[in-house]
Amino acid sequence: MSYTGPEFDPPQQRRPRRGPLTVALAALVPGALLGWLVYEEVGGGGSGAEVRTASPAPASSASPLSSAPGTASSAASPGASPDASPGDDGKVSGTPSARPGGTGPLKGKVVVIDPGHNPGNFRHTAEINRQVDIGTNRKECDTTGTSTNDGYTEARFSLDVAHRLRTLLEQQGATVKLTRDGDSPAWGPCVDERARIGNTARADAAVSIHADGSAPGNRGFHVILPGSVHAGAADTRPIVGPSHDLGVRIAGNFLRETGEPPSNYLGEGTGLVTRTDLGGLNLSTVPKVFIECGNMRDSKDAALLTSGAWRQQAAQGISEGIVSFLRRS
């Protein structure tokens, strides 16, 4: 999801590699964020969460994927095909529907996963450019999303991670619903409908999965939290607190599982950003966050985002954050 310019920009020239001093300073950021997130979760930031321990962030001199726990593969191969791992985004016909959970610790909990954008949006420009009410103003129904310079689209990435995440949550007993799945619907849904799906399901948690389209050299993940909005059809005041808790837990676990650093261009190193201009958050009546898993236009992030093994780690980190949130709520 891009923040400036067209939603699907042409490939850009890559920046020269950063010098050793910049790399050394950047290595300090994940550790600082992880400590801050633990502080938040034990109550220092007012979240009131139970005490949990977290593993140190991987050092920059080692592969962030070489020792990340909880994955099917011990290392992601950046050069691997995006479809190299099982659980990728094969098309599934039919209207997205809730899949009942099992008998695990999350039995009775409902999670809505919102894979950003849709591959069909490129062929339905009139439909996705239609303006919809997001409470504070009107915006496009949806956008095309971004892609890596080699053409791996955000829509394809987000659905693959959503499938992996659904499997992990169902193994914990949760009932999981996707806002889109495979080739259904043909485009969209619109951002207001994406929020409505979570509201109608009375989700205990909702997560929208994205990857950013910022400039090369900008890298890292960030979790987008809803700001306080009370305008028109939007009233986020009841969900701001629980959404913050959900976002903090996802950010901490995502960092630990993937080794991906927090964004170096948004969030001031916290990995957390608050926004009031996103219909998917403004119109939600259930705890909801967005996660931008990395920047598709940065070569280092793109190498991770196109790796099936790394996407499994991403799903694991998001899942652990959701499970942590649901087990205390």
CATH topology of domain 81-328: Aminopeptidase (3.40.630)
Catalytic residue among 193, 257, 292, 320: 292
Q: What is the DSSP string of 245-256?
A: HHHHHHHHHHHH
Cα 319 to Cα 39, 96, 195, 253, 313, distances in angstroms: 21, 20, 20, 8, 10
Q: Where are the domains of the chain?
A: 81-328
> So what's the pLDDT on residue 92?
34
> So what's the pLDDT on residue 100?
72
Q: Is 292 a catalytic residue?
A: yes
DSSP character at residue 218: -
Angle 33-109-113 (CA atoms, 0-180°, nearest 5)? 60
Q: What is the rounded CA–CA span in Å between residue 305 and residue 214? A: 14
| Residue of 103, 147, 85, 153 whose CA lies nearest to 316 | 85
Peptide bond into 189 cis (omega under 30): yes
Average pLDDT per 10 consecutive residues for the chain, totaling 329 residues: 41 42 42 49 35 31 31 37 43 52 88 98 97 96 98 98 98 98 93 98 98 98 98 97 98 98 98 98 98 98 98 98 91
The amino acid at 22: T
Q: What is the rounded CA–CA span in Å between residue 319 and residue 173? A: 12
Peptide bond into 185 cis (omega under 30): yes
Instruction: Identify whether the C-beta of residue 222 lies closer than 8 Å to the C-beta of residue 264.
Output: no
Helix (H) or strand (E) holding 312: helix 308-328
> So what's the pLDDT on residue 41?
43
